[in-house]
Structure 1
């Protein structure tokens, strides 16, 4: 598979992960924390309003990773969104380090690297402007 296909796969995976994590907007944080174990305890540090805001950012990020390219409307938003997603996961890593949750940090680090990969690929060798022009 070529790099463009891998970038689409990773962007789709990240969008799916981001959409899946928006459950915090609809399910009480106490319930998620009880079911999610150690990895979900961070939810209790945030107000319901803050969790809705984070969920809204995640929905917008999921859309920004896919829709601009699919609709061919400002496709430069894809690598910009991927950069913002990398920043989001960098903040998640920092939050986990602050909480002393070193065992639950691996997924956030993987997502950070995947987002950075999409940003690099779409700003660089497989930018949409290079593909169309």
Structure 2
């Protein structure tokens, strides 16, 4: 169960470090080609989402790796589930139901990671 956690958590962490990093450092004009929704959401909120994604990625890896506050891995995975629920809601409200496949896959992966993280609770 731990091996499955590390594989899934590692993949999610890499994805969210990249996506969160983009949201925190790139301008609205640079993000627009990849993320059309940035026009409808204030940039401070986009930056906050990016920071939360980075914190979620760190929370998936660092606590179990160090053995300190390992329950934070579960909390980080749940936080990433909530981020994807928000993403799905945003896309559906914009009429972009064809692009929610990635959101659904990330939501499922984060949910499974949360379940696997219960090994440390």
For the aligned pair, the TM-score class normalised by the smaller chain equals over 0.9
**Partner deviation per Cα, 1:2-38 (whole Å, 9 max, x = no partner):** x32121111111111111112121111122213x2xx
Distance 1:47 1:5 in 2: 39
Aligned length: 120
How far residue 121 of structure 1 moved from its aligned partner, in angstroms, is 1.6
TM-score, length of structure 1 as denominator length: 0.85
Give the aligned partner of residue 63 of structure 2: 68
CA contact (8 A) 2:8 2:113 kept: yes
How far residue 128 of structure 1 moved from its aligned partner, in angstroms, is 2.2
Stretches of structure 2 lacking an aligned partner (at least 5 in a row): none
Tell me which stretches of 4 or more aligned residues in structure 1 moved more than 6 Å: none
TM-score, length of structure 2 as denominator length: 0.92
Larger radius of gyration: 1
Mapped pair 1:4 → 2:5:
no
* CA RMSD of superposed structures (Å): 1.2
